[in-house]
Structure 1
Amino acid sequence: MKIDETDKKILEILQNDGRITNAKLAATIGISPPAMLERVRRLETAGIITNYTAVLDREKIGLEVMAIVSISLAAHELESIDRFREKLLALDEVLECHQVTGEDDFILKVVLENIKSYSEFAMKKLAGIPGIQNFKSSFVLNTIKHSNSLPVKLSKS
């Protein structure tokens, strides 16, 4: 689906305020509410808008530790990778998992209550996943930039 400049403006606004009313969004963009509703539905149907969610402050809900974990697998055949992915999907502590190129095979973003919780997670859950050759943990001391908004202005759609 080709998105135009109006679609890009809609996407920018919705990424920053998913609770904006259709009427306010239409007024901001300068089109009628029925036309706006049709555009948003088209973006949803095309799978460009995949979800609406609330963003939580992890520390305020007691998740004080964030770690970036680099994982190397012992074997790189499809069956081993699929088994790893399946086990990883069951771990609620893992917010993100990226398969990457380079020295490591996967990079995880993990959140937990404290260092003791992380230690238990690493030793009892992560180390127990078959196929992991090794893993390295780096703890986030401070977040300089965090965004869930994609730069739609840069897209060439």
Structure 2
Amino acid sequence: MDGTDKKLLDLIKGNARMSYQEIGDALGMSRVAAKKRVDKLEKAGIIRGYNTYIKKEDEVTMLIDIITTPEGFDRVLEYVATRTMYVRQIYTTLKENHIHLVAVSDSPDNIKYMAKIIKKACIDDIEEYHARQVRQIIKDVYGGITYEQRSESNINTDS
């Protein structure tokens, strides 16, 4: 990946709906060359998909960190991946047996209940468990939210 690829990624990070012509114009290349660059980044797995961000005023986000027992990691991961309807993203980290979840709902009660159910269902496989509701998104590259806009686009929840 070279400097032009990095510039291209910065361009589409804020607006994945840019046309190849717009990308090419911004990078000083043809529409065809821009398309070839995007195709190359997709095939390399650097661009893994495109998202539509739909802003909802009543959306509540919760971050959940789980440290599992070594033998319980796969069971907990399978549980949160298949049995939790509000989980939007699941990450594993470089920390041993660590799972990080991002869950979203339109109801603080629903998301709190989901967090309690995960803990209860997986209690024998969990060493540490932390669940926190997000008070405010400071920066979201997909939704275009930045720190300066925070007063206009808060997601307020009870911690």
Identify the residue that residue 135 of structure 2 maps to in structure 1.
Answer: 141
What displacement does 1:18 show? Answer: 0.8
TM-score normalized by the length of structure 1: 0.74
Could you tell me how far apart the structure 2 residues matched to 1:98 and 1:120 are? 21
The reply to whether residue 81 of structure 1 matches residue 39 of structure 2 is no
Instruction: Calculate percent identity across the aligned residue pairs.
Output: 24
CA gap of 1:7–1:133, structure 2 versus 1, over 3 A, is closer
CA gap of 1:36–1:136, structure 2 versus 1, over 3 A, is closer
Secondary structure at 2:67's aligned position in 1? strand
Could you tell me how far apart the structure 2 residues matched to 1:124 and 1:106 are? 16
Unmatched tracts of structure 1, length 5 or more: 150-157
TM-score normalized by the length of structure 2: 0.73
Could you tell me how far apart the structure 1 residues matched to 2:135 and 2:92 are? 24
Could you tell me how far apart the structure 1 residues matched to 2:98 and 2:43 are? 33
For residue 118 of structure 1, what is the amino acid of its counterpart?
I
Match of 1:5 among 3, 6, 16: 3
Match of 1:71 among 66, 73, 95: 66
| Structure-to-structure mapping, 1:40-51, within 5 angstroms | 40-51=38-49
| Structure-to-structure mapping, 1:15-34, within 5 angstroms | 15-34=13-32
Equivalences, count = 140
For residue 72 of structure 1, what is the amino acid of its counterpart?
I
Could you tell me how far apart the structure 2 residues matched to 1:43 and 1:105 are? 29
CA gap of 1:45–1:107, structure 2 versus 1, over 3 A, is closer
What displacement does 1:125 show? Answer: 4.4
What displacement does 1:14 show? Answer: 1.2
Q: Which structure would you say has the larger RCO, counting Cα contacts within 8 Å and 6 or more residues apart?
A: 1
Segment of structure 1 superposing worse, 42-51 or 138-147: 138-147
Match of 1:127 among 85, 103, 120: 120
RMSD: 2.5
